[in-house]
Amino acid sequence: MTALPCDPDRFSALCAELAATVRELAARGWTPATSSNFSRRISDSHAAITISGRDKGKLAEADLMVIDMEGRAVGSDHRPSAETLLHTQLYQRFADIGCVLHTHSLNQTVASRLFSRAGGIELAGYELLKAFAGNSTHETAITIPVLPNSQHMPTLATQVDTLLDQGPLWGYLIDGHGLYAWGRDVAEARRHLEAFEFLLGCELELYRLTGGHTVFHPAARTD
């Protein structure tokens, strides 16, 4: 790789931290069949992102590539994830976002199908809501939106921008697909991802135990 936008040693350290996290997420079964994509900011104008089609359970620095904030490859002939735009839009919009994680766990995928018609899932009263940056109490509620799936990334990106305009957001689901979560660094993005995974599991279990009689409050679509 040539023309790295940061010191090579720093680049290697940043990639090593992300790759180790991705391997751990893959070990939980959250990245089946080479799915999912992951990135982290490496400078104001560049990010490192997973190369398309790589086995996330064996991810190494060589499986990450540099892109600019328009999603163009830098110093590489490899192809970045098809969903690169969903990463770069967050980096462009929020200077403090340093990492974006996208996984396809069973809980995430099933919840996205179950609540797609409602357009989202309200998570209220859980102690673990304090895992999300800026939340200091369980006496609150956040909504994780569920967006319709699309192979046209600009369409999805436009829908995400609309959600971001409406207020604080730590992640979203895509119907039949999976979860996007982010944070100021890898550790915070991972904390948000793990919190969403646990809370979605709680909602699915409550749904099963009550036979679908809601104890949660799905958010209605506004479109």
Asked if pLDDT for residue 203 goes beyond 60, the answer is yes
Asked if pLDDT for residue 84 goes beyond 90, the answer is yes
**Residue 218 — very low, low, confident or very high, per pLDDT cuts 50/70/90?**
very low
The structure's pTM equals: 0.91
Taking residues 48-61, what's their average pLDDT?
95
Q: Mean pLDDT score of the chain, rounded to an integer?
A: 91
Condensed to tens digits (0 to 9), the pLDDT of residues 111-152 reads 999 999 999 999 999 999 999 999 988 988 999 999 999 989
Asked if pLDDT for residue 219 goes beyond 90, the answer is no
Instruction: Note whether 145 and 116 are within 8 A (CB).
Output: no
Taking residues 183-188, what's their average pLDDT?
98
